[in-house]
Each structure stands twice: as structure tokens, then as C-alpha cells.
Amino acid sequence: MNVKQSKTAERNNTDGCYDVERVREDFPVLGQTVHGKPLVYLDNAATAQKPRAVIRRVAEYYETENSNIHRGVHWLSETATRAYEGTRTAVRKFLNAAEEREIVFVRGTTEAINLVARCYGGARLQAGDEVVISAMEHHSNIVPWQLICQEKGAVLRVIPVDDHGDIVMDAYHRLLGPRTRMVALPHVSNALGTVNPIKQMIDDAHRAGVPVLVDGAQGVPHARVDVRALDCDFYAFSSHKLYGPTGVGVLYGKAALLEEMPPYQGGGDMILSVSFEETEYNVLPYKFEAGTPNIAGVIGLGAAVEYVTALGIDAVASHEDRVVAYAVERLARVPGVRLVGTPGRRASLVSFVLGDVHAHDIGTILDQEGIAVRTGHHCAMPVMERFGVPATVRASFACYNTEAEVDVLADGLETAWRLFSGV
């Protein structure tokens, strides 16, 4: 990476002291006002803000390195290729994957899951086979499996969640049967904040001879992920939730499984030779990376991985745990607030309702106070149905959020409660 990392990240990594105010200085968007109020950005589960190190690295690529990759012998192409593949190396280290060919660049978690459903599931599922998911899935880990199950005559099985928002493990064990061919689970629920016992669930599935895909969109930004320690077969995450650019994601897959899978798309760069009679596909991971990719986005992801690594993912996780714990305690004191989901382990977010007030109305009032939250079903309609609500307000936290911002949120909710309750 040519752009120098922030002094904040370097300090946090070397002296062990997490200084959130200095971290905030790395994110230019946080310095603005909205409707005359200081911006309080609590929509990080949708997308995180970008530090200057990422913004500058993307700009640097376009200003000094812009070229296509893997094809040219000229200096610009070779420079861009090194930067692009450098991100693959950084991501491999970040996830502790065994080999760089196990890191496939995609457009995001959604495309990664679709790739596995189509190329792994499509090649193996037969009529009567079963795919196991949970009742807390994002739509991106429901619809791809529905599509492939409908095509193959397979059956989608759903693990229930209890009233706290935790997976019912006994039910999970009962669902692991002789026809189970795949388990696909979220590391962290995007609607409830539940941290699932992924390692245990992977081990249970493997004892039944079943591979596991982990939707890590809400996991990677908030905790250390070691894919070899987890022993997951596939792990997917998105750049933009890890402070990187949008339109980029990563699929980790065990090399042996990726080798067996057919390509997802056909086109340039995923081939070794093409004739009108036959095509020989490229080696991993390029077999799954057809066409010109989002080069600047991948390079920006590399800068984001460097930034988070310099901050220290464990330090980030500890900071976020403190903030979310304070949010749970503080919001419980706001009249009318009811948390939706009280899991045993929570990461990064809280979902709640305010009396009978619709979530969109709450979000509009909070916006007038400069507070950005997410309102709606969060692409998790089955979760809303399970808890009997049409929508929730979701406040989600990142490395730069503070307890003072939680207080601002609570004050805004108290204002909304007075307005709608007539108190």
C-alpha cells in the first residue's frame, strides 16, 4: 500500500490504548452536521464509513495506477496487478486462510452466497436432499438456497430461534439428517445482533458429514475471524461493512471444494484457452473471477484491511462491546422502548420498537436530530414475523461510535416518545 496509514491506527496498535476520538478523526464524514446537528452515524450494519486511508488509496489508484490487471505487460498494468493481488494476500492473512487461491473476489456477500449455492449446491443437490439455514437469515442467505432447492427438488429446512433471538440448538441437531447436504448460517444476525456459536455448529455439521457456509457480513468487522480454527468450508463477507468500498466482497472456500466446483460465470480472465469446441478454465481463484473486476474497490479493501489490522481487531471488538452494552442499558431506561432480541451473546447492534409507533416515523424524527439509524425489516422479514413486529429501529455501531452518541440517541427517542404519546 502506497498511502501511509493513519497515525491513529499506528498508535492504537503500538501502545494498546484505544483512543476513539483520534479514530474519529480518520473518518471525514463524521465531522459534518445534518439538519444543523452533529452527525451521529448509527447505520454501520448497512454500511460503515470510510477512513481517509481508504479514500486516498482509491484516489491514488485512479490518479497514478489506473489500468486493467493480469493482461498487460506495461508498467501501469503490472503495478495495478500487484496492488490487486496484494489485497488477496492481505485478506488471506486477515482470515488466516491456508492459501491465497482460497480467496475469491466477488461483488459482496450476496454474490458469494449465490456463487456457492449455484456452483456447489447446483452440482450436488438432488431431489429430496436438504439444505439447513436458520430463522434469523438475511434474505441473501435465504433466496439463493430457495432458488437452487426449487430447481433441484431439494428441501429447505429452517432452525428455529427462541424468544431471546438465539438458535435452538436441539432443533439444529435434529435437522442434521442423512439427506442434509449443506448448512448455511450467519455468524452474527444483522437484525438481532445475535452472535451464533458458529464453531460448535460447524463441528456438529462436520460430524454429520455436512459442509458449512458462514455468512460473515456482520462478523468480520466486529471480531477476529480465523477460518482454519473455525474449520468452515466457506466464509463470505463484504468490503463496505469493513470500512472499504462498496461493490466488493470476498468468498473464502477450502481449495479442495473450490477445485471441484464449476465456474460461476464465463468470460475473460477465467480461462486458459478457448476454442469453439471447448474451453479450459483458469486455476483458482481466477476460475471464479470472470471479466474486469472492481479493481479500485479491491485495492480499497486492501487499505481497509490494513487500517483495521493497525487499529487491532480485538481492540475494536472490545470498544464496540462496551458501546453496545451501554446502549442496551441506556435504551432500557427510555419510556416505550422494547428491545427485539435479547441474545446471550450480542455484537455491534440493537434492534427495538418504541411503543406502537412505526419504525419509519421514529427514523424520520431521529434524522431531524442528526441521528442516522436503519428502520424497516432489514432484509430479514422472517425475523420480523418471528417476533411479531412489522419493522424495528436498528442502531448499529462501529469503531468510531461512542457512549455519548448513545446518549444522543436516547434523548432523541425520548423526544419521539413525548411527541407520539402526548406526554
Catalytic residues: 379
What percentage of the chain's residues is helix, strand, coil (to nearest 5)? 45, 20, 35
CA of 341: how far to CAs of 30, 47, 136, 293, in Å?
A: 29, 21, 11, 38
Phi, psi (deg, nearest 5) at residue 344: -65, -35
Closest CA to 385 of 209, 65, 142: 142
**Using the 8-state DSSP alphabet, how is residue 65 labeled?**
I
C-alpha cell at 359: 419504525
Contacts of 270 (CB under 8 A, 6+ apart): 263, 281, 282, 286, 287, 288, 289, 290
C-alpha cell at 145: 438456497
Closest CA to 400 of 150, 108, 47, 49: 49
Strand-by-strand arrangement of the 349-354 sheet: 337-339, 349-354, 392-396, 374-376
Residues 68, 56: Cα–Cα separation, whole Å: 20
**How wide is the angle at C-alpha 79 spanned by C-alphas 76 and 85, nearest 5°?**
135
